[in-house]
Structure 1
Amino acid sequence: MKQPGLDGRQRDKDGKIDQKHGNTMNKNLPKPIEGFGPNTTLKTMREKSGAVSEKDIRAAVAEKRGR
């Protein structure tokens, strides 16, 4: 059953939502994250921002830029 907001991901047996793989490139995200190049991997973005989810990475980048 599809659940809203999962963005093509699914829940595992524990009910946790799978994160996107770290080797996903910024250019392949539904909405690329500003401040990172198109070939930057999600793993690198996580390391540089200190955040895990795409939403948190976007928030960290926006905060850093003063938005």
Structure 2
Amino acid sequence: MKEPGLDGRHRDKADPKSGQIQQKRSDTLNKNLPQPIPQFPLNTKLGTMREATGKTSEKDVRQAAKKLRP
């Protein structure tokens, strides 16, 4: 069941990951994100953006992208 405030994701209920928020898949295209990251082309995969910025979460990738490509 999805919980409010998690952007459509859910928290894992079972051990060993209990309570962690599930991350978006790395094959998600930039154009399919709720708000595409303007510093990357629309057909860029989230995994590629994570490698370019060195960050894991979508929020951290977005902040790091602003510093890479203003």
1:63 deviates by 1.9
- Are the equivalent residues in 1 in contact too, given 2:27–2:45 (CA < 8 A)? yes
Query: Which residue number corresponds to residue 3 of structure 1?
Result: 3
1:5 deviates by 2.5
1: CA distance between counterparts of 2:68 and 2:47?
19
Q: Identity of counterpart residues, as a percentage?
A: 59
1: CA distance between counterparts of 2:26 and 2:40?
14
Q: Please list every run of 5 or more consecutive structure 2 residues that lacks an aligned counterpart in the other structure.
A: none
State the 4+ residue runs in structure 1 displaced beyond 6 angstroms: none
1: CA distance between counterparts of 2:19 and 2:9?
12
Query: Which residue number corresponds to residue 63 of structure 1?
Result: 67
Q: TM-score, normalised by structure 2?
A: 0.84
Q: How many residues align?
A: 66
Q: TM-score, normalised by structure 1?
A: 0.87
